[in-house]
A = this chain, B = another copy of it.
């Protein structure tokens, strides 16, 4: 298993944790110099949050980092980052995003790439399965999360 898959497993752990809390199963980790410095999962249900998508929760948990740190980090997300999370990645100049899957939802990947960010899609089967089942079971909650 390569590094990307190993870190994606940690993002998946976060997604499963969210699901077990009754939440939306999306997880994320931020990696700096090969070490996880932030972990998070979607907190819409758990905290009644409109802004704590997985990537946002992960960045918040990582705390206040310096620009030089963000600029050599990699963010992993089990799902293609939405407009908000993509915007946070652009704000902080995170140069590399590894995405579990973009089959059940696709954020503005081309725009993010056009701003110089490397976006890699793993199409991890477990990521796809988690979201497919969740969207089937709780479509309303899912639509709320993506503003639909």
B-binding residues in A (CB < 8 A)? 44, 48-52, 56, 59-60, 62-67, 70, 82-88, 90-93, 111, 143-144, 146-148
Q: Are A59 and B64 in contact (CB under 8 A)?
A: no
Chain B residue nearest to A146 in the complex (CB): B91
- 20 additional contacts, CB 8 Å, given A48-B64, A51-B56, A84-B90? A49-B64, A50-B65, A51-B51, A51-B52, A51-B60, A51-B88, A52-B60, A66-B144, A67-B144, A82-B91, A83-B88, A83-B91, A84-B84, A84-B88, A87-B88, A87-B90, A91-B146, A91-B147, A93-B147, A111-B111
The DSSP consensus for interface residues of chain A is helix
Distance in angstroms from A69 CB to nearest chain B CB is: 11
Copies in the complex: 2
Residues of B within 8 A of A146 (CB): 91
Q: Are B66 and A50 in contact (CB under 8 A)?
A: no
